[in-house]
Structure 1
Amino acid sequence: MSHNTISLNKQRQPLDHLDSVWLFGYGSLIYKTDFDYLDAKPACIYGWQRRFWQGSHDHRGTPEAPGRVLTLIEEPGARCVGMAYQVTPDTFEHLDHREKNGYLRVFTPLHWLHEPGETGGVVYLASPDNEAYLGPASDAEIAAHIAKSRGPSGPNSEYLLKLAQALRDMNEQDEHVFAIERQLLALSP
């Protein structure tokens, strides 16, 4: 599958018939909301965990030297905390462009963190069959890759460090993110 997924997302997941949609963010969408939203709440999804296994050719890297950003992988019993944003369907014009590098929209149940209940929502996932997928590596290898990567949205390290801080601000422990952050900081003089 091509890493530019804009038209595929529009084809697979038309949303025009809805008044609003809940979007689940687990990476940069937690700390970088460059879109309008109607409401925002901390939420989680079950059965998924964050991994720095997706290449970024357009934001935190370049086509010649992609950075590493997050995707989700299935893991029974796992819980992934992030932010849910209630948005209007026209917001996906911007979001599909922002998340075009191999990510497909998938519907999933969202569970609220600080109140009972759940709702249906959309999450962007980059599966192993997209051209930008980099796959697993050790924490040290991922940190070294992130340390040297830079793209139009800035240094790849900024993505990691801002995410780690946002997760701390939410009182959320994510061992994968924090282990890579420790490795990255150890590389700095």
Structure 2
Amino acid sequence: MSFNTIDINKQRQDLSSYDDVWLFGYGSLIYKVDFPYIQKRSAYIRGWNRKFWQGSHDHRGTPQSPGRVVTLVEAQSTKKCFGVAYRVRPDVFEHLDHREKNGYLRYEVNLHFLDSDAGCTKGIVYIADPDNAAFLGDASIQEIANQIHHSKGPSGPNREYAIKLAQALEELGFDDQHVKSINQHLQNLEQ
């Protein structure tokens, strides 16, 4: 699959008939909210782990020196990935499809809100699958942290992304060992 997924995402779901749509954010969408939303709620999805396995050639790195950003990888169905859900108007996806164009595809998921026991609701999440051209995959925590430490792109240093994500998750009360471990290694590299 190509690096640019804008056209693919427009074909995957026609959201024009909806008044609003729930969007699940698990990475930079948690702390960099550069889109209008109607409502915001803490939420989780089941069966996914957040991992720094996606290359960033357009925001936090370059084609010659890609950064690393998070994507979701399948996990046990009991595993919960915590994040933030935003109720948005469908036209917001015009901006989001461009922002998330580097290998991310829209998927429909069941969202579970932390402030409710009322089951789940359908939502959209962007996931960079292993078959996209920017996918970097697994590496040791040290290798990932080192790559993040040295990468920089049009949106700024890659380490800024990792640090802001770790801080946002901590402020929300979400414990993500993968993000926390990488952030610890980044702090050691700064010294």
TM-score class normalised by the smaller sequence: over 0.9
Unaligned runs of 5+ in 1: none
Letter in 2 for 1:46: R
1:60 equivalent in structure 2: 60
Letter in 1 for 2:103: G
1:23 equivalent in structure 2: 23
1:106 equivalent in structure 2: 107
State the Cα distance separating 1:54 from its structure 2 match: 0.1
Q: Does 1:148 align with 2:166?
A: no
**Percent identity for Structure 1 against Structure 2:** 60
Regions of 4+ moved over 3 Å: none
Aligned counterparts, 1:128-147, within 5 A: 128-147=130-149
- Tell me how far apart the structure 1 counterparts of residues 53 and 102 of structure 2 sit (CA, whole Å): 13
State the Cα distance separating 1:51 from its structure 2 match: 0.3
- Tell me how far apart the structure 1 counterparts of residues 174 and 4 of structure 2 sit (CA, whole Å): 31
State the Cα distance separating 1:146 from its structure 2 match: 0.1
May I ask how many residue pairs the two structures share in their alignment? 189
State the Cα distance separating 1:150 from its structure 2 match: 0.4
Residue deviations 1:129-161, cap 9 Å, x none? 000000000000000000000011100000000
Unaligned runs of 5+ in 2: none
Aligned counterparts, 1:58-137, within 5 A: 58-76=58-76, 77-117=78-118, 118-137=120-139
| SS across alignment from 1:89 | coil
State the Cα distance separating 1:11 from its structure 2 match: 0.8
State the Cα distance separating 1:63 from its structure 2 match: 1.3
- Tell me how far apart the structure 1 counterparts of residues 66 and 117 of structure 2 sit (CA, whole Å): 40
Residue deviations 1:97-134, cap 9 Å, x none? 00000000000000001222221000000000000000
| SS across alignment from 1:9 | helix
- Tell me how far apart the structure 2 counterparts of residues 49 and 81 of structure 1 sit (CA, whole Å): 9
User: How much is the aligned-residue C-alpha RMSD, in angstroms?
Assistant: 0.6
1:10 equivalent in structure 2: 10
State the Cα distance separating 1:64 from its structure 2 match: 1.2
TM-score (normalizing by structure 1): 0.99
Letter in 2 for 1:43: A
Letter in 1 for 2:75: E
Moved more, 111-120 or 31-40: 111-120
State the Cα distance separating 1:166 from its structure 2 match: 0.4
